């Protein structure tokens, strides 16, 4: 007789067609026994740990483990109170397959970690003292999840070097880093899949087809993922160091009290900042390290003092410097200072321009005035263009973009090509109007312009919109228009003016995600058939996807459906990860279009567009 179906970690009931498995008798709480040793020649035992395992019955965990993998599991051993599980499989080949299947797995929204069970306590050996697990405790072959490291980074105190703060993943090989980030994105997909299912059933509506376990299994999606996941896109080996084309450096003092231009190492109780050199920072390009050295020399020789950030002081001039670097080696520099008199500003500007232009390939210099306690200047802070051209030329996908000091441009130029190529491949813009929401200086939209009917870009920052218009003119693009203002204010009106034209959209919002008004406008504009979401924060993407995909009625063909996702590592050695997600209307997505087959029409369309 077949076993009764039990709910898995998300509360969902799955009727499995696997052969019934004889469950071992539970061990009484007062009589805990260690599993019998199994010869390594015939079996491999693995150790899985998760805080949420504690208090769970062994039968529920056994069911979940066996449904999460195609590998034949010979034993799942656990005590109810344990936050760990011992899993036994037959042989090394099955162990490797099992580890791959369980990579990034979640039990009740908590990450599951796994390693080989290679050591047991001998008789009379006591338990080791408990201590909090730190990042250095993980072996290279069994790294923690990216989410675990993000949590650790917030909790861990004590001194850290600038290298540890700016490149916390440097201790792991790049393949391991990419695996971490792919698992992080996979977790985001699992989370929005589960949340859409939960909210739909809470509204007494039928579960969407793409959130059903049977559909995910038939489509061969990763476990509990409602869409296909492409292999992660990494940064090429030659671009994994010195890849940042924009950096901001603080001008202050180091631990020894000497002048330094670099990254903030810590903030003292009185508000002053301790700054350390960027010489050893792998993510900073050499030209910017040279800039820091020149700035340090200029400040040391300057009659103007450092800005004193201590509470109750707020005196001095030098504050920080921002630099942008093009692939050709040209640099734009913005130096932030406190207020100066007219004569002082004239003297300061001359010595600054002479000192920078003499040593570095700087084509543009700006001076910004900021008298606030924080170095994050107000949007209306006075800004003076004091040398060279007003913008920096940045090449991308055959176009040239003029980027100003306040414009948004992807920080990793090399991997940006891969990111935008993937976004355009999935967008399939031929014959459509392309909406570029949060367009910055117009990069994605202008790259799509030659493939589509026309481009409409929306951006909050007026300077970026001015740059987008100039970039269109610079590249001879006449089918693009750009609008400044909040997308939530302008998007509904623009959508109404589009008439009967076919529309697709790409959104690239800041870390907080899209405003709910923007999401409502995109969701309600039914002529918008495809949406590509480029996210710098997969956590905020989750809630946005739920708003776009939850059905509002039975058989809601206007709800969006996630079709495929991919992790993009724009920031090697750091905890940050980008994600691209393709969504289409439920009425356009048939079950057989998903999975591996979905890549074929996407690729062929882009090839036809050139």
Between CA 361 and CA 368, with CA 365 as vertex, the angle to 5 degrees is 150
Contact 235, 243 (CB under 8 A): yes
Tokens of 266: 């810590």
Give binding residues for S-adenosyl-L-methionine as ranges.
Answer: 410, 459, 508
Gap between the Cα atoms of 385 and 366, Å rounded: 5
Contact 310, 266 (CB under 8 A): no
> Which member of 261, 536, 549, 577 is catalytic?
536
- Kindly give the pairing relationship between strand 110-111 and strand 106-107: antiparallel
Cα atoms in the Cβ-side hemisphere of radius 13 Å centred on 290: 16
Between CA 219 and CA 553, with CA 199 as vertex, the angle to 5 degrees is 85
Tokens of 317: 């001039």
CA distance to 279, 366, 392, 404, 425, per residue, from 389 (Å)? 29, 10, 7, 10, 34
Nearest to 426 by CA among 262, 252, 239, 562: 562
In whole angstroms, what separates CA 194 from the centre of its chain? 20
CA distance to 456, 492, 501, per residue, from 497 (Å)? 12, 9, 10
Gap between the Cα atoms of 58 and 76, Å rounded: 8
Gap between the Cα atoms of 172 and 192, Å rounded: 29
Name 276's bridge partners.
263
The CB density around residue 277, as the number of other CB atoms within 10 Å, is: 17
Nearest to 116 by CA among 149, 92, 80: 92
Tokens of 170: 């440097």
Give the containing element (helix H, strand E) for 468.
Answer: helix 462-474
504 an active-site residue? no
Give binding residues as ranges.
Answer: 410, 459, 508
Name, in order, each residue with C-beta under 8 angstroms of 5's C-beta and a sequence gap of 6 or more.
13, 14, 15, 16
Residues catalogued as catalytic: 536
């Amino acid at each position: 007789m077949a076993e009764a179906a039990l709910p898995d970690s998300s509360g969902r009931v799955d009727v499995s067609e696997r052969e019934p498995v004889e469950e071992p008798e539970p061990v009484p709480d007062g009589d805990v026994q260690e599993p019998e040793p199994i010869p390594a020649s015939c079996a491999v035992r693995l150790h899985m740990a998760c805080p949420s395992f504690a208090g769970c019955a062994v039968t529920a965990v056994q069911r979940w483990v066996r449904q999460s993998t195609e590998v034949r599991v010979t034993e799942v051993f656990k005590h109810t109170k344990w936050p760990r599980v011992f899993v036994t499989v037959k042989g090394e080949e099955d162990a490797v397959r099992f580890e791959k299947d369980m990579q990034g797995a979640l039990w009740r929204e908590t990450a599951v970690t796994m390693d080989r069970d290679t050591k047991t306590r001998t008789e009379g050996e006591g338990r080791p003292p408990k201590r909090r697990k730190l990042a250095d405790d993980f072996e290279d072959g069994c790294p923690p999840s990216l989410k675990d490291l993000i949590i650790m980074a917030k909790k861990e105190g004590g001194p850290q070097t600038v290298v540890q703060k700016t490149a916390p993943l440097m201790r792991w090989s790049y393949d391991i880093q990419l695996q971490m980030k792919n698992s992080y994105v996979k977790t985001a997909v699992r989370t929005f899949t589960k949340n859409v299912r939960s909210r739909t059933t809470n509204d007494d509506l039928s579960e969407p087809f793409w959130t059903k376990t049977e559909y995910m299994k038939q489509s061969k999606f990763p476990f509990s993922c409602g869409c296909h996941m492409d292999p992660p896109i990494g940064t090429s080996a030659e671009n994994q160091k010195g890849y940042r084309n924009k950096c901001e450096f603080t001008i202050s003092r180091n631990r020894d009290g000497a002048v330094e231009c670099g990254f903030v190492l810590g903030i003292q109780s009185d508000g002053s900042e301790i700054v350390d050199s960027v010489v050893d920072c792998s993510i900073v390009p050499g030209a910017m390290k040279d800039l820091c050295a020149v700035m340090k020399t200029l400040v040391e020789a300057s009659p103007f003092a450092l800005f004193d950030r201590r509470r109750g002081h707020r005196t001095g001039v030098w504050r920080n410097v921002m630099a942008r670097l093009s692939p050709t080696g040209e640099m734009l520099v913005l130096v932030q200072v406190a207020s100066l008199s007219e004569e002082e500003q004239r003297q300061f500007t001359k010595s600054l321009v002479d000192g920078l232009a003499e040593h570095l390939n700087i084509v543009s210099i700006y001076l910004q005035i900021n008298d606030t306690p924080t170095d994050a200047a107000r949007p209306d802070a006075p800004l003076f263009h004091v040398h060279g051209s007003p913008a920096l030329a940045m090449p991308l996908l055959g176009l040239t973009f003029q980027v100003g000091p306040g414009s948004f441009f992807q920080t990793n130029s090399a991997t940006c090509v891969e990111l935008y190529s993937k976004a355009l491949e999935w967008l399939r813009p031929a014959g459509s109007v392309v909406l570029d929401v949060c367009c910055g200086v117009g990069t994605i939209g202008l790259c799509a312009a030659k493939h589509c009917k026309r481009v409409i870009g929306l951006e909050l920052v007026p300077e970026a919109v001015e740059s987008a218009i100039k970039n269109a003119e610079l590249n001879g693009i006449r089918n693009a228009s750009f609008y400044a203002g909040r997308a939530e204010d302008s998007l509904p009106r623009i959508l109404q003016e589009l008439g009967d034209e076919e529309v697709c959209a790409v959104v690239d919002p800041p870390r907080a995600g899209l405003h709910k008004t923007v999401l409502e406008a995109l969701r309600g504009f039914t002529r918008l058939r495809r949406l590509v979401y480029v996210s710098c924060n997969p956590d905020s993407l989750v809630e946005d996807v739920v708003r776009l995909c939850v059905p509002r009625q039975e058989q809601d063909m206007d709800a969006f459906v996630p079709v495929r996702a991919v992790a993009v590592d724009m920031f090697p050695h750091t905890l940050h990860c980008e994600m691209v997600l393709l969504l289409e209307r439920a009425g356009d997505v048939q079950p057989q279009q998903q999975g591996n087959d979905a890549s074929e029409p996407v690729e062929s369309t882009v090839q036809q567009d050139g």
